[in-house]
Amino acid sequence: MTVTDTLLTALATVLPEAVPDRDSIAGGETVLDCPPEHLLDAFRALTESGSTVHLSAITALPADSGTLLLYHLWIDSGLTLCVHCPRNEAPSLTPLLPAASWYEREAHDMLGIRFIGHPNLEPLLLAAEWSGPPPLARQEKTDA
Amino acid sequence: MHTLAQILVFPGAVYLFGLGMFLAWVDRKVIAVFQGRVGPPFYQPLADVIKLLAKEDITTEGADVRLTAALPIVSLACILTAGLMVPVGNHTIVSFEGDLVVALFLLSMPTLGLFLAGLIVPSVYNVLGGSRALLQYLNYEVPLLLGLAAPAAFAHTWQMSTLMQLQNGYRWHVVAMPLGFLVATLGIIGKLERLPLDAPHAKAEIGAGPLTEYSGRKLALWRLVTWVQTVVCINLMVAVYTGGADQVWANWGFPVYAIKIAVYMAGLSLVGVLYARLRVDQVAELSWRTLVPLGLAQLLVALLIGAY
Amino acid sequence: MPEITLPVGPQHPLIKEPISILLDLQGEYVTSARVEIGYVHRGLEQLLQRRSYTQGVAVVERICGICSHAHTTAYCQAVELLLGLEIPDRAQAIRALLCELERLHSHLLWLGVLAEAIGFTTIFMYAWREREQILDVMEMISGGRIAHGANVIGGVREDLSPDQVEATEDRLTKLQQQLSVFTDLVDRDKSFHQRTHGIGLLPLELVYAYGVVGPMARASGATLDVRRAAPYGAYRHLEVPAAISSEADVWARAWTRVQEMSHSIALCKEIIRHLPEGDLALRVPRRIAPAKAVSRVEAPRGELLYYVESDGGEMPARVHVRTPTLPTLLVMEKMLPGLQTGDIAAVVAGADLCMACADR
């Protein structure tokens, strides 16, 4: 099952350079690269196309510079938006789609990425007293 | 001297405590059997009291120590006094015209005690539980009174031992006034805060209700208050509605009376098993929309039949 | 009217796992709710980066006690996708069988917890008694009641003997008969209706906006069920019936889950009647070449998503778990205001929360 052409066409207007790729993530996902500044527009294009957009998860990965965010969506089949955030910050999806609220808080907890526009970016899983670095951020290799 | 023995032992304090624990066990055993379980051994309620007496008695900061200690004792005293008037078998320690009203008045003291016990402890669960206890009391006294007023009107007397003797084996009030029996029984369930009317101490909602922060000796006393209250209420219902220990059975009077008590207790347990808990407003709805009109109707019928 | 804050949790007789739900009450009505989680956060995603893929299966199994098999299935599936493997049919069937048995025992557990929350202890006792039947079956099949250890990367660990198949079928038939108690409860019991009908409404728009999944969403009219939308493993050959309600209240959630129980029994029977022959597992290498995979599985509570990335070493570079309870917890803050205190228990217990899953 693949993402319908209508959706891809809708996205093509917002993300003209993105080439849909079905191989980089196994499991039937269609992957599209999306710069952080176009993220909200891409979502609006998807929701305006008429389908129900289900946000399954937001995976945050440390990248060589900044963070890589994967937005795993389900719109009759799997669609992943790959957002590379070189400055470790991204626009918050929460005002458009409240489902993103806790996923963004968790990414902030675990990797320290800042979501601009998030109504309440408090720690979700980490204790309030946690003063160490974000647990999943790339750390200096120690002998541990 | 004889009276003192009666007050302290039978049918007084020792008997009421003992029967209270026994009926508490019957309750748990019957519920267990209906739920497909085994249930506790017969000495469980006694073991619970002994265990609680051995536990640390903590008074929450901000709660008056003397008042929290006094409330269960005063409640217990009121119930035991009511117990003096309720016919046990053929014996009544104290009996006079109007003792039904006095007994009911005394029996309402523990509910007020529970409400106060909840309010004086500065914890959310206690306060919520206490206010629910008071709400339930306001809802359930009226059906209970109406249910008990019907046989009194029918028999032209407010004396419990007379009510009992007038039934004389074959003219049980429950046969003549089944609605009144039903209304009064539901009133008793509400008064004793048993399922399905146990909203004041709904475990899933407000911890243990008014008794949430209580432990040790005080909690043990409140347990005894509940059990003895159950005994006295059941005794009252059995005497007023089903003839207690009828004269007609002669020497078998007492065992028959014991069977009636056990059957009534099992009936209360069965009702507890069959339904989900009612919410506080549903309890009020049941009381004022169903029980009170039925109780009034029954009272009217009883007055009419009694007149003839 | 006095305004008080009722703390439901982190310790409370209603909730079985630590969570903090702070409710502002005005008299008997809830005016606002605030949900805080993280009390059992164990840093398992980080731990998985420091354990081999095989060790990871054991870690993942312990994310949650009730849906442990769903977690291992999703994880093993993701790693198998990384390797580009298609596991043998018999292994797929055994995996699916345990998935459905787990759904059964989870729903029975949930039903008991809901009944206890509304004061219906009898149903709690009955539901958990039936649950024992399922746990016994799972112990017979895999050796464990809760943590089965049945999945390995590449397939399953143990086989089903013909005796076990027959015993399972017998127990399932008996359970199907006992299920009538619960269908009667949901269809006809008046006191159950009084405590669950029209309570805790979750409109479909909120389901979509908050990304709610599983029976919670299907009770409000959503249709997403991973077993039907993106079939995996043996589900590609099975027809999974839909249990969708539009009532959107606690009663609908009960109805949906009781229907799903019935469907699960039928699916289990179909799986064991057509158990394919074959191997149990494929050999897998210890090092996995760089790749990424997303695996979705329908856990008892809804869509469970695993993202696994390998970097050529023996340990994964990243494992991300999105459990189905997370969006339900998020939408709680919208569902609780407006309720009476007496209904909080029904709504919270009816939401089938699993904090161990949510916190990881």
Q: Where are the domains of chain B?
A: 2-307
CA distance B289 to B283: 10
Q: Does A57 touch chain C (CB under 8 A)?
A: yes
* Cβ-Cβ contacts under 8 Å, C115 against chain B: 276
**CB-based contact A76 C211, cutoff 8 Å:** no
Q: What is the dihedral of CA B243, B246, B249, B250, to 10 degrees?
A: 170
CA distance A42 to A20: 14
Q: Does A14 touch chain C (CB under 8 A)?
A: no
**CB-based contact C122 B207, cutoff 8 Å:** no
- pLDDT value for A143: 44
- pLDDT value for C322: 92
Query: Residues in chain B with pLDDT < 50?
Result: none
- pLDDT value for C297: 93
Q: What are phi and psi of C197, to 5 degrees?
A: -75, 130
Q: Does C179 touch chain A (CB under 8 A)?
A: no
Interface mutation target, options C4, C11, C14, C190, chain B, most CBs of B under 10 Å: C14
- pLDDT value for C326: 92
Name C36's bridge partners: C20
CA distance C308 to B123: 47
Q: What pLDDT band is residue A7 in, cutting at 50, 70 and 90?
A: confident
Full-model pTM = 0.89
Instruction: Measure CA of the first residue to CA of the last residue in chain C; give whole Å.
Output: 40
Q: State both tokens at B278.
A: 């009612």
Distances, alpha carbon C245 to alpha carbons B157, C173, C303, C345, C347, in Å: 58, 26, 18, 22, 17
Q: Could you tell me the sign of the dihedral formed by the alpha carbons of B189, B194, B198, B201, in that order?
A: positive
CA distance B37 to chain C (A): 8
Chains that touch A (3 or more CB pairs under 8 A): C
Name C297's bridge partners: C304
Q: What are phi and psi of B88, to 5 degrees?
A: -115, 115
CA distance C257 to C28: 30
- Residue C166 burial by Cβ neighbours in a 10 Å radius (0-12, 13-18, 19+): exposed
Q: What pLDDT band is residue C303 in, cutting at 50, 70 and 90?
A: very high
User: DSSP of C138-185, one letter per residue?
Assistant: HHHHHS-SS----EETTEESSPPPHHHHHHHHHHHHHHHHHHHHHHHH
Q: What is the pLDDT of residues C138-169, one digit of tens each?
A: 999 888 888 888 899 988 998 888 889 999 99
Q: Which amino acid is at B173?
A: H
CATH of domain C3-149+157-359: 1.10.645.10
User: DSSP of C84-97, one letter per residue?
Assistant: T----HHHHHHHHH
Mean pLDDT to the nearest integer, A16-37: 81
A141, part of any domain: no
- pLDDT value for C55: 92
Mean pLDDT to the nearest integer, C63-90: 91
**CB-based contact C345 B199, cutoff 8 Å:** no
CA distance C345 to chain B (A): 6
Number of domains forming the structure of chain A? 1
Q: State both tokens at C126.
A: 């009955």
Kindly report the length of chain C: 360
Q: State both tokens at B296.
A: 């009034």
Classified as helix, coil or strand, A142 is coil
**CB-based contact C293 A27, cutoff 8 Å:** yes
Cβ atoms of B170 and B248 closer than 8 Å: yes
Instruction: Kindly give, in sequence order, each residue whose CB lies less than 8 Å from that of residue C115, ignoring residues fewer than 6 positions away.
Output: B276, C121, C122, C123, C124, C127
pLDDT at residue A1 greater than cutoff 50: no
**CB-based contact B277 C118, cutoff 8 Å:** yes
**Look-up: residue for tokens 């856990």?**
C299
CA distance B245 to B254: 6
CA distance C244 to chain B (A): 25
- pLDDT value for B1: 64
* Cβ-Cβ contacts under 8 Å, B274 against chain C: 122, 191
A56, part of any domain: yes
**CA angle at C142 for the pair C137 and C144, rounded to the nearest 5°:** 80
* Cβ-Cβ contacts under 8 Å, A24 against chain C: 292
Number of A to C CB contacts under 8 A, please give it. 93
- pLDDT value for B250: 63
**CB-based contact C294 A26, cutoff 8 Å:** yes
* Residue C297: closest CA among C222, C215, C235: C235
Which runs of E-coded beta strand occur in chain C? 3-8, 20-26, 29-36, 151-152, 155-156, 291-299, 302-310, 318-322
Cβ atoms of C27 and C2 closer than 8 Å: yes
**CB-based contact C294 A127, cutoff 8 Å:** no
Distances, alpha carbon B4 to alpha carbons A100, B93, C250, in Å: 75, 10, 58
Among B128, B198, B281, select the one facing C119 at the smallest CB separation. Answer: B198
- Average pLDDT of chain A? 82
* Residue B217: closest CA among B60, B47, B65, B53: B53
**CB-based contact A101 C318, cutoff 8 Å:** no
- pLDDT value for C262: 92
CA distance B295 to B301: 10
Residue of chain C whose alpha carbon sits nearest to that of A127: C38
CA C71 to chain centre: 9
Among B36, B207, B281, select the one facing C125 at the smallest CB separation. Answer: B36
Instruction: Kindly give, in sequence order, each residue whose CB lies less than 8 Å from that of residue C69, ignoring residues fewer than 6 positions away.
Output: C61, C95, C98, C99, C102, C148, C150, C151
pLDDT at residue A137 greater than cutoff 80: no
Residue of chain C whose alpha carbon sits nearest to that of B207: C13
- Residue C334 burial by Cβ neighbours in a 10 Å radius (0-12, 13-18, 19+): middle
Among B196, B203, B274, select the one facing C13 at the smallest CB separation. Answer: B203
Percent of chain A clearing pLDDT 90 (strictly above):
6
Q: Where are the domains of chain C?
A: 3-149+157-359
CA B228 to chain centre: 8
Residue of chain C whose alpha carbon sits nearest to that of B276: C120
